Structure formats: C-alpha cells, structure tokens
Amino acid sequence: MERLFSSSLITLIINHSRLIVCLEESIYIHSMRDMKVLHTIRDIPSNRDGLCALSSNDENPYLAYPGSTITGEVQIFDTNNLKPGIIISAHESTLAAMAFDMTGTRIATASNKETVIRIHSAIDGSRLFEFRRGVRRVATIYSLSFSPDSMFLAASSNTETIHIFRLIQQKEKPPEETNSWIELFIYQLGNVSYHLSRKVAEVFTQDRAFSTLHSRLTRMKITIAMNI
C-alpha cells in the first residue's frame, strides 16, 4: 500500500491499533488493521522536528504533540474516540522531548531552554513530578523514557549523560538504596558503551537524578529506551 503526502513525512510512530504520521503542520491517524486514514489533525502549530508521542496502552491510546510554537504547551488527543483531549501548559519555552508511560496516564516533557523535566497526568493535566537535570551546562534533552513499571524515568541529552530519576514521593522513599537496579540496567544495555559513575550513584534528593550514566560515544544523538 502506498500513500502520498502533501509535504515531507517527519515522524512515524505506531502502537497496537494506530499508526501516526506527523508532518510539519498536520498529523494523520491510521488504523493498523487496514491502514485507512481515520482522522487528520490539520493546521497544527509548525512542528519542524515532528515532535510527538503515542501511548502504547490500549485503554489510554493518547497522542501528544506541541500546541504552541512559543511555549511548552502539550495537546493531548484521544486516538480511540478521535477527539482532542486536554491541553497541558508544561513549560514556559518550547518543547524538546516528550514520552508517555506504559499506562498512558502520565506524560514526561522537557523544553528547549530549561533544565527542568516535568511529569503531568495525561488525564487531568495535574503536575505529578518535577526534576532538574542539572545546571552545569546548557543542555538539549534528546529523549525521555519511562521504565515499564513507571517507577523510573531516564533522560538523554547533548551532554552525553543519561540521567535517571525515581518516580516516588519523598515520604515513600526507602531509607537506603543499592545499585542493583542500575547494575542490571547497565547489563541490559549490552554492547552500548556506557559506564556508571559511582560518585553519583548514591540517592539524591527527589528533584534530582539519583544516578547518571555517561556515554563514551561523543557527538552522537542518543535516544534511550528502558525495558527493565
């Protein structure tokens, strides 16, 4: 099956039931069953990077895309019922990255100018968590990824450093932690050349990464995924 679009295809993402094609000023929602176009979102704010995120959860199959070219506004769209959802004012500056968790009820976002990463409810827009990536360097967040149990969030950036954040409230945090989860995470990376900086492997405050991984690969855009 072949389909022509009016402009260049920037991003293509899929879940079990939907295929999303993102152009600069429009988004096409296809059925994975027969590849028919179910809906077209037209006249979206200019999205040259094709930034969007799609939940893989069948009960909450939300699509998210930038709602503004000035601020970090997130537009949620219900791909089952084919209608717009809530709008989340996530950041003061434009969005750089976004990702849903496995339940489709949480969305993580980062902006182009801030070092803050925020997690909001995709259902009601309430802010659930806020983390600071760091202040030593101006960083561009390349990708965000939740662990399958939604207990951790990883972020990669142009600093060749992956930050890992724990998604529990301060009062729920255990008094002591080990590096066992991190060691398992590194093992799962396989042939990718990362190593754990032991200096920062200890638990920090809730609004900071509790651990970081440093890549030996330089001048490369690192995209991450967590499957632990």
Give the whole-angstrom CA distance, residue 25 versus residue 206.
38
175 or 75, higher pLDDT: 75
Q: H helices of the chain, where? A: 180-188
pLDDT over 50 (residue 194): no
Ordered DSSP codes for 21-62: EE-SSEEEEEETTT--EEEEEESPPP-TT---EE---SSS-E
pLDDT 10s digits, 32-86:
999 999 999 999 999 999 999 999 999 999 999 999 999 999 999 999 999 999 9
State the burial class of residue 30 (Cβ atoms within 10 Å of its Cβ: 0-12, 13-18, 19+). Answer: buried
Give the whole-angstrom CA distance, residue 56 versus residue 155.
19
Give the whole-angstrom CA distance, residue 177 versus residue 184.
14
Give the whole-angstrom CA distance, residue 122 versus residue 178.
32
In which band, very low, low, confident or very high, does the pLDDT at 181 lie, cut at 50, 70 and 90? low
Strand arrangement, sheet containing 83-91:
53-54, 62-66, 72-78, 83-91
The ranges assigned to domains in the chain are 11-215
Candidates 142, 144, 159; CA nearest to 197 is 159
Q: H helices of 44-168, where? A: none
Mapped onto helix, strand or coil, the DSSP state of residue 107 is strand
Strand arrangement, sheet containing 194-196:
141-146, 152-157, 161-166, 211-215, 194-196
pLDDT 10s digits, 5-14:
667 889 999 9
Structure tokens belonging to residue 222: 């690192």
pLDDT over 90 (residue 170): no
- What homologous superfamily is domain 11-215 in, according to CATH? YVTN repeat-like/Quinoprotein amine dehydrogenase (2.130.10.10)
